[in-house]
Amino acid sequence: MTPDSIQSYDGPVNSPAEYLKKSPFSGQILLDAPMKNRCTFKSGGPAETLVIPESLEDILIVRTLCAEKNIPLFILGGGANILVSDKGIKGITLSMEKMATVKQEDNTLICGAGLSVNAMVSEALERSLSGLEFLSRLPGSVGGALYMNARCYGAEVADIFDWAEVLTLDHKVKRIPFNKADWAYKISPFQEEGLIILKGAFRLSPGEKSSISSKMNEIALSRREKGHFRAPSAGSTFKNNRDFGKPSGQIIDECGLKGLSLGGASVSDWHGNILINREGASSEDISRLIIEVQNKVKEQTGFYLEPEVLRVGDWN
C-alpha cells in the first residue's frame, strides 16, 4: 500500500483510534495504555493511543494519519531509556514490538527493530555467530539500541552495524549504510526527526558456540553483580563525559550522593549513576532527583551532568 491509497481522514482529530479502526490497519489499538508496564522505570502516565502495528503497511497508515492531522507520534522500543511524564503521552505511541523478524544472510544478522536485544543475542548464539556478546542482557529493542548507539563492555552498536532500513518522513523506505562520521558516543544517524527504524543488519563472524555462550554468560553475570536488575531503572541516568576525567557514577559517588532519595526515587546504594524507582516513584520524583543530582554535582565539582535518559510525553 502506498500513502496515496490511504483514505483521507475526515473524523475529529482527537480520535485517531476511530480512523484506524475504519482503515485497513490490522494491528492492536489500546486507549489510555499504562506506560508503567512498558518502561523499565515502571513510572509515568498512560499513552493516549498506543498502536502495535503488524506490518509496514500498518506503520504507513499510522504515519500518514499523524502527518495529515498533525498528531504527535512517539516510537516506542523496549522503554529502557525513557522517563514517561506522569501526564502520559499525547497523540499516538507506536510500539514496534511485533516488527521482530530475524533473517541471516551469510554472516549478517538482519533483525526487525522491535525484536528484543535479548532475542537477537540468543539468535546469534543459536547460529554460532560471534559479535553480539557485548550486548548480552542489554534491556530494550534492536531499534532502541540502534537509535541510542548502545554501548557496553568495551564496544558499541556502531562497531557491528552494517545497514538499517528506515521509513523517512516522506514515507519512503530507505537503506542507511554504515558511515563512520554518522556515529559517536550516544549518537546515531537515526536521531534525525521523523525516522522510524524498521530493521537493522549486523556484521558478525562464525564462532565457537561454547565460547560465544560463555562470554555471554560472563557479561550477564557481570550485569547482575553490578545491580542492574535489582530495582526498576533505565540503567545509567547520565552520560559519561571524557572531559570530566572519570565516569559520572564515580563523580556522583564522590559527591556523597549514593542513596539520596526524593519521594520514591533514589540514587541506588550500589551505583552512583543508576537512579532507581525504589518504591512507587512518580516520574516527577525521578525527574526532580535527576535535577537535584545535577545541581549538587555542579555545586561541588563545576561539572554539568547531561542526562542519557530521555524525557518523553507531556512535561509542561
Active site residues: 236, 308
Q: Which residues 50-69 are close enough to bind ligand FAD by CB under 6 A? A: none
Q: Site for ligand FAD (CB under 6 A): which residue of 138, 212, 265, 290?
A: 138
Residue 220 is a binding residue for ligand FAD (CB under 6 A): no
Q: Site for ligand FAD (CB under 6 A): which residue of 51, 71, 96, 267?
A: 96
Q: Site for ligand FAD (CB under 6 A): which residue of 63, 151, 215, 271?
A: 151
Segment lying near ligand FAD (by CB under 6 A), choices 60-68, 177-185, 207-215, 230-238: 230-238
Residues touching ligand FAD: how many (CB under 6 A)?
33
Segment lying near ligand FAD (by CB under 6 A), choices 49-57, 126-134, 189-197, 203-211: 189-197
Residue 139 is a binding residue for ligand FAD (CB under 6 A): yes
Nearer to ligand FAD among residue 72 and residue 256 (C-beta): 72
Residue 83 is a binding residue for ligand FAD (CB under 6 A): no
Residue 84 beta carbon to ligand FAD: minimum distance, rounded to whole angstroms: 10
Residue 164 is a binding residue for ligand FAD (CB under 6 A): no
Q: Which residue has the CB atom at the shortest distance from ligand FAD?
A: 144
Residue 150 is a binding residue for ligand FAD (CB under 6 A): yes
- Dist. CA 33–CA 47, nearest whole Å: 5
Residue 200 is a binding residue for ligand FAD (CB under 6 A): no
Q: Does residue 49 contact residue 93 with C-beta atoms inside 8 Å?
A: yes
Residue 207 is a binding residue for ligand FAD (CB under 6 A): no
Q: Does residue 244 contact residue 303 with C-beta atoms inside 8 Å?
A: yes
Residue 75 is a binding residue for ligand FAD (CB under 6 A): yes
Nearer to ligand FAD among residue 9 and residue 76 (C-beta): 76
Other C-beta atoms closer than 10 Å to the C-beta of 130 total 17
Q: Does residue 161 contact residue 200 with C-beta atoms inside 8 Å?
A: yes
Residue 21: partners with Cβ closer than 8 Å, 6 or more residues away: 29
Residue 143 is a binding residue for ligand FAD (CB under 6 A): yes
- Cell numbers describing residue 263: 519521594
Let me know if 146 is exposed, middle or buried by CB neighbors in 10 A (0-12, 13-18, 19+): buried
Catalog residues that contact ligand FAD under the rule CB under 6 A: 40, 74-82, 96, 113, 138-141, 143-145, 147-148, 150-152, 190, 196-197, 228-229, 233-235, 310
